[in-house]
Amino acid sequence: MKNQKENIIQVATKLFYEQGYKNTYLDQIATVCEITKPLITYYFKSKSNLAREVTEKFLVEHKNRVAFRLYLEYFKGNPADLQVSTAVEIRLYDMLHLCDPNVMRFIKEHADEKHEDTFSQSVVHLYKIHDRRYKLKLKRCPDEISMIARSAMASSLSVKLAYANGEFDCSQEECLDYLTSLHFVLMHIEESRIDEIIDESKRVLQLIPFEIKPYFQVI
């Protein structure tokens, strides 16, 4: 059962990337997987939810891959700077969207159909980790971290789509700086510290080569 579900995600990832979200159908995915369409809806309920699972899988793998490489190649086994590591993860994630038109098409079409399914619970978890580590200056209403996470994701998506549409008079580098700093602004991190985080994250990417690859990959 697990292998079957993972195979559906793998095939959906390939088709979503090649054809876009809009032009990929559950019937196509079922045909490639040699299963029935109802089996896909049994596992994922809807195409939108399947797309969310594809994104979620990428996010988890992306975070783990980046964090592990930084631990080995940049921090060299010393305690990692969580803020810098997170900034690198975010910058690479946004670079994937801004540099690969197939990825941008996918996220735009998915958001157009069901915006709420573009939200990832793993982002809430990320903010909770930062809160535990740095004791963020939050007002402590029950769902403030969830609200911050949703605000960051919604704002980031809006900025990336607007940039792709040519609505801003800025370079890609400036857009990435803004997108990365946005998360730390919402965490109420001091501006001077945010500047340090952004600068160091950019130094990291000069030292450690990551590549944007087809099919939602940052390696």
pLDDT digits (tens, 9 = 90+) for 117-134: 998 888 899 999 999 999
> What pLDDT sits at residue 211?
95
Is 1 a residue whose pLDDT tops 70?
no
What would the mean pLDDT of 160-170 be, rounded to a whole number? 96
Whether 44 maps to a domain, the answer reads no
Is 29 a residue whose pLDDT tops 80?
yes
Q: Which of 27, 36, 29 is nearest to 10 (CA)?
A: 29
Residue 73: give the domain boundaries. Answer: 51-218
What would the mean pLDDT of 154-183 be, rounded to a whole number? 97
> What pLDDT sits at residue 120?
86
Does the pTM surpass 0.85? The reply is: yes
What would the mean pLDDT of 136-163 be, rounded to a whole number? 91
Is 151 a residue whose pLDDT tops 90?
yes
Q: What pLDDT digit, counting tens, does each position of 94-113 carry?
A: 999 999 999 999 999 999 99
> What pLDDT sits at residue 72?
94
Whether 185 maps to a domain, the answer reads yes
Residues 17-28 as b/e (b if ≥16 CB within 10 A, e otherwise) read beeebeebebee
> What pLDDT sits at residue 149?
92
> What pLDDT sits at residue 141?
81
Q: Which of 105, 2, 9, 94 is nearest to 57 (CA)?
A: 9
> What pLDDT sits at residue 77?
81
If one compares 120 and 159, the residue with the highest pLDDT of the two is 159
Whether 23 maps to a domain, the answer reads no
Within 10 A of 111 (CB to CB), how many other CB atoms are there? Answer: 18
Is 23 a residue whose pLDDT tops 70?
yes
Is 140 a residue whose pLDDT tops 80?
no
Whether 181 maps to a domain, the answer reads yes
Whether 173 maps to a domain, the answer reads yes
What would the mean pLDDT of 62-79 be, rounded to a whole number? 93
Count of domains for the chain: 1
Residue 80: DSSP 8-state:
P
> What is the H or E stretch that residue 212 is in?
strand 212-213
Whether 20 maps to a domain, the answer reads no
User: For residues 158 and 102, what is the distance between their CA atoms, to the nearest angstrom?
Assistant: 17
Whether 90 maps to a domain, the answer reads yes
Range with the poorest average pLDDT among 3-12, 108-117, 118-127, 154-163: 118-127
Whether 64 maps to a domain, the answer reads yes
Looking up tokens 């797309």, which residue turns up?
51
**Dihedrals φ, ψ of 218, to 5°?**
-125, 115
